[in-house]
Amino acid sequence: MIRDPDTLAALVDNIAHFVRERLIPNEALVDETDAIPEAIVAEMKAMGLFGLSIPAQYGGIGLTMEEEVTVAFELGRTSPAFRSLFGTNNGIGSHGIILDGTPEQKARYLPRLASGELIGSFALTEPGSGSDAASLSTNAVRNADGTHYVLNGTKRFITNAPEAGIFTVMARTNPADRGAGGISAFIVERGTRGLALGKPDRKMGQRGAHTCDVVFQDCKVPAAQLIGGREGVGFKTAMKVLDKGRLHMGAVCVGAAERMISDALRYALERKQFGQPIAEFQLVQAMLADSRAEIYAARSMVLEGARRRDEGQDVGTEAACAKLFASEMCGRVADRAVQIHGGAGYMREYSIERFYRDVRLFRLYEGTSQILQLVIARNMIREARR
């Protein structure tokens, strides 16, 4: 749902200018230094990027899902590291609080997330439970008088953990229930005794976007930090958060694919072989055309899923379809773009070399492609049995 087309168009134009003039020129620097310049982070805060989808009553811009993916199409056209820094504040780092948090939790954390004062992080994945998230082993034991919980366990590959001020942590509060029903969600603040961070991970790509382990060892968390004030709803919260995140990531994949094929087309028009631009060769044209068609299909899927979510529909299947198709499409476009560049595509002086590494992660997080296939198929079977 787009509420005010003119206002959204102005916001998109402003972000597109920022991407073009400030972020793209600094992509190589971020990849080289593994850090986003502080001046750019300050500009992101001033533009309200940390609060794009946080409700206006808490200081955010309060974009609808359709508006958010429209913005994400533009943000995807540059290095994923930039969007990753504020992306968790608009998605997995804040949305659990928005959806299920108590009024006190919303008032305490959402304004600071919207301003960028706090970076939010979502701690679900563990060394022994990734795709099988419901089998997590981090536990939270409530003390006798009910005033606090003690958390123990380790979370792995946690986005923005090195910078995070708060963590949305999934932990098992009912050891008798080994499934999703035994899991609760907590807000744990940085600096809480018993919370420790591992060394930053060394990744294939997406340098400048940081991940690390988050370790809880007898970490004492006040009972007031239980999201929603109720046990046993944490896994449902996580799944609702992931539905939104999958649509958002689908949009980012579209933006990245558009950037890659645009760069490839420009190169194909400039590069000459056999006396003419390689863009004139039909096999190159086929790669360009296939990419354009698939990008259009992915964009349409993301927009349709976003509109349905704004209407209040359950979009678990649609979000999984959009993220599955868009991320796989993005990988195919990356491969074609390298092929069009030829040997130059393997060289670091060209942006496609970096994008080729960066976009590989899209098929892994927010649900691997294989897990999304299972989600889609199981939803189909469930519907058929009804």
The pLDDT tens digits of the residues spanning 260-287 come to 999 999 999 999 999 999 999 999 999 9
pLDDT tens-digit profile of 22-64? Answer: 999 999 999 999 999 999 999 999 999 999 999 999 999 999 9
- Tell me whether residue 67 is one of the annotated catalytic residues: no
In the chain, the percentage of residues whose pLDDT exceeds 70 is: 99
**What is the C-alpha radius of gyration for the chain, rounded to an integer number of angstroms?**
21
250 and 206 in a single domain? The answer is no
For residue 108, which amino acid is it? R
Question: In which band, very low, low, confident or very high, does the pLDDT at 133 lie, cut at 50, 70 and 90?
Answer: low
Alpha helix stretches (DSSP H) within 271-347: 282-310, 316-341
Q: Residue 170: which CATH number?
A: 2.40.110.10
The catalytic position among 27, 231, 318, 366 is 366
> Given a cut of 90, is residue 2 above it in pLDDT?
no
Residues 264 and 362 in one domain: yes
Highest mean pLDDT among 16-20, 86-90, 131-135: 16-20
Statement to judge: residues 74 and 140 lie in one domain? no
150 and 227 in a single domain? The answer is: yes
pLDDT in tens, 188-243: 999 999 999 999 999 999 999 999 999 999 999 999 999 988 887 777 877 778 88
- The gap from C-alpha 26 to its chain's centroid, in whole angstroms, comes to 21
pLDDT at 73: 98
Other beta carbons less than 10 A from residue 358's beta carbon:
25
| 101 neighbors 228 (Cβ within 8 angstroms) | yes
Give the pLDDT band (50/70/90) at residue 65. very high
pLDDT of 325 strictly over 90: yes
Q: Are residue 59 and residue 81 in the same domain, yes or no?
A: yes
Give the pLDDT confidence score for residue 365 in this predicted structure: 87
Whether residues 266 and 361 share a domain: the answer is yes
pLDDT at 74 exceeding the cut of 90: yes
* 8 Å CB contact between 147 and 97: no
Whether 306 and 318 have beta carbons less than 8 Å apart is answered as: no
Provide the β-strand partners of residue 168: 122, 187
- CA distances to 40, 209, 359 from 25, in Å: 11, 17, 19
d(CA 243, CA 338): 31
Structure-model confidence comparison of residues 382 and 145, the more confident one: 382
Query: Any idea what the CATH number is for the domain that residue 339 is in?
Result: 1.20.140.10
pLDDT at residue 91 in the model: 82
Q: Are residues 328 and 257 in the same domain?
A: yes
Q: What is the mean pLDDT of the chain?
A: 93
Residue 332: other Cβ atoms inside 10 A? 14
- pLDDT-above-90 percentage for the chain: 81
Structural domain containing residue 165: 120-235
Say yes or no: 164 and 292 in one domain.
Answer: no
- Is the domain of 229 the same as that of 241? no
- Specify whether the CB–CB gap between 340 and 333 falls below 8 A: no
* C-beta of residue 217 within 8 angstroms of C-beta of residue 139: no
Reported as a pLDDT band with limits 50, 70 and 90, residue 130 is low
Residue indicated by tokens 């679900």 = 124
Alpha-carbon gap, residue 110 to 95, rounded angstroms: 9
For residue 317, pLDDT over 80 is answered with: yes
Residue 132 — pLDDT band, cuts 50, 70, 90?
low
> Quick check: pTM over 0.85?
yes
pLDDT band, residue 134 (cuts 50/70/90) = low
Q: What is the pLDDT of residues 79-93, one digit of tens each?
A: 999 999 998 888 877
Could you tell me the two tokens for 90? 């608009």
Burial (CB < 10 A; 0-12, 13-18, 19+), residue 351, is buried
Do 294 and 250 lie in one domain? The reply is yes
Helix, strand, coil percentages (3-state) for the chain, rounded to 5, are: 60, 15, 25
CA angle 48–300–84, rounded 5-degree value = 35
Count of structural domains within the chain: 3
Evaluate whether 188 touches 195 at the Cβ level (below 8 Å): yes
The residue among 66, 98, 115 that closes a domain is 115
The secondary structure of residue 306, as a DSSP letter, is H
Assess whether 376 and 263 both reside in one domain.
yes
Query: Taking phi first (over 0 means left), then psi (-120 to 50 degrees means alpha), and beta for anything else, what does residue 157 get?
Result: left
Between 203 and 128, name the one with better pLDDT.
Answer: 203
The span from the first CA to the last CA of the chain, in angstroms, equals 30
**Residues 16 and 107 reside in one and the same domain:** yes
Backbone angles phi, psi at 119, to 5 degrees: -105, 130
| Cβ pair 239, 133 in contact under 8 A | no
Task: Identify the domain boundary among 84, 115, 146.
Answer: 115
Model pLDDT, residue 256: 98
Question: Which residue among 185, 210, 235 closes a domain?
Answer: 235
pLDDT in tens, 333-345: 999 999 999 999 9
Per the document, the length of the chain is 386
User: pLDDT confidence of 131, banded at 50, 70, 90?
Assistant: low
